[in-house]
Amino acid sequence: MLDSSIIQVLLVVGFPYIIKAVRSFFAKTPPPSPLQRLNNKQNPTRQQQPHNKWNQFMYLLLSAATVFHLAQLTFYNQPNVFKTLSLPADCPNFILHQSWKERSATDPTFLTKFPDSLREQFKAMESRLVYIVYGQDAFINCDHCSERNDYLMYLFPSALASYAGMAILLGMATTQTSHLNRQRTWGSAGLVVLALLEYSVLHSSSEVSNLSTLVKQEKFFVGARGAYAVRHGSLALMAMTLMGLIYRSSRSTGPRGEVEILNDLCQAQEAMIQRHRALQLARVASLRDPLLRKQFVEYWKRREVEHGLLLADTEYKEARDLALSRIDVETLTQEANQYIEAVIQAGERVANDTTTTDVSSSGASTNGEGLTKLGQEMAP
């Protein structure tokens, strides 16, 4: 089902995520800060927040998507005349024609579901192979299909619609909650992997050139039927996973913790640093080309000339001096120093409160033990 090229793509795409997951698993958990310890002692019990309207709306959408995909997987069976007649796909033509006539005589709806023109087309084993691999819908309704790739392109829009719908739900579910930004990346990568897996199912079946070989290897994940099962089963599982992630993210109460805020700030800062590095690499790469380097030098020379003309303008000088005269540097410096002192005092106060809480709890336990011993000595 998976050839070597698909396996290589999956390994290349998933290897960085696997390394990151392994490193995070063995990473040591940082000790709690004094502020976090104080908050934990003051608020030992945390109540669950009620779900907001957006989460309820997403629960409804994801539940509907899960039910839809499970219903498609469970109740929708693509028509297959060979399974209806209980015949193998490589059966002789006279047996197929005889069973076809007997079934059409007893079942009036048989010819409605399976037109009689199919029986003439099934005289060729190649037509049967295309029918088994790509399904009855593509085999009957695709008028312009002459090669196997044409049938594959015919099935592409329906698969793309399913993945596009799940991508929209993934974006809606992870947009309102900043904790799910990483899950959005994993979900997008998962959609790509599922699309490759579905394509591998169709591709591996279409590579079979002999109908007898396909019949011997026929299992659940074969052709359009197997790709259909992979798609809807995986998307239903992804929708249920998103509901679990939303429920997990809504369990925390109160304002966001100090560690969560710092993690978000670190991620934003890391993104800015990586973006700056990418710009530097792009600049260095562009300066290696003689034409781009010449354009770069000419651009900055032109900007320098424009800046010099701007500085030489008397109106600009007057406006700049007026704006600078309105800025009170001493007041700004004094306010900054006061703000720094307030932050330092707040940190010292939190540390003192934490120490006092620890000492009081230990003192209370010591006093309790002393009273217990005194009571035991005074007891008759």
DSSP string, 50-76: PP-HHHHHHHHHHHHHHHHHHHHHHT-
In-domain check, residue 274:
yes
Q: Do 244 and 307 reside in the same domain of the chain?
A: no
Q: What average pLDDT score do residues 139-145 get? A: 82
Rounded distance between C-alpha atoms, residue 112 and residue 178, angstroms: 53
Q: Do 6 and 59 reside in the same domain of the chain?
A: yes
**Tokens encoding 34:** 């004094």
pLDDT of residue 376: 46
Q: Do 276 and 185 reside in the same domain of the chain?
A: no
Contact 2, 200 (CB under 8 A): yes
pLDDT of residue 64: 92
Q: Which of 121, 122, 156 is nearest to 138 (CA)?
A: 156
pTM, two decimals, is 0.54
Q: Do 124 and 10 reside in the same domain of the chain?
A: yes
Q: Which of 195, 187, 128 is nearest to 156 (CA)?
A: 195
Q: Do 243 and 267 reside in the same domain of the chain?
A: no
**Tokens encoding 188:** 């997008």
In tens, the pLDDT along 150-187 reads 888 888 888 888 899 999 988 888 877 656 777 888 88
Q: Which of 210, 24, 198 is nearest to 128 (CA)?
A: 210
Q: Do 175 and 239 reside in the same domain of the chain?
A: yes
Q: Is 326 helix (H, G, I), strand (E, B) or coil?
A: coil
Q: Do 122 and 245 reside in the same domain of the chain?
A: yes
Q: Which residues contact 214 (CB under 8 A, 6 or more apart)?
A: 89, 129, 132, 133, 205, 208, 222
pLDDT of residue 19: 74
Give residue 43's pLDDT band: very low, low, confident or very high (50, 70, 90).
low
Contact 27, 263 (CB under 8 A): no
**Tokens encoding 346:** 């707040």
Q: Do 226 and 133 reside in the same domain of the chain?
A: yes
Q: Do 249 and 283 reside in the same domain of the chain?
A: no
E strands of the chain, at which residues? none
Q: How many CB atoms lie within 10 A of CB 55?
A: 19
Q: Is 292 helix (H, G, I), strand (E, B) or coil?
A: helix
**Tokens encoding 233:** 């089963």
pLDDT of residue 373: 46
Query: Cα 97 from chain centroid?
Result: 50
Q: Which of 79, 72, 78 is nearest to 166 (CA)?
A: 72
Minimum mean pLDDT range among 4-8, 230-234, 312-316, 320-324: 4-8
Structural domains counted in the chain: 2
**Tokens encoding 285:** 């790469």
pLDDT of residue 85: 83
Structural domain harbouring 278: 261-352
Q: Is 122 helix (H, G, I), strand (E, B) or coil?
A: coil
Q: Do 144 and 86 reside in the same domain of the chain?
A: yes
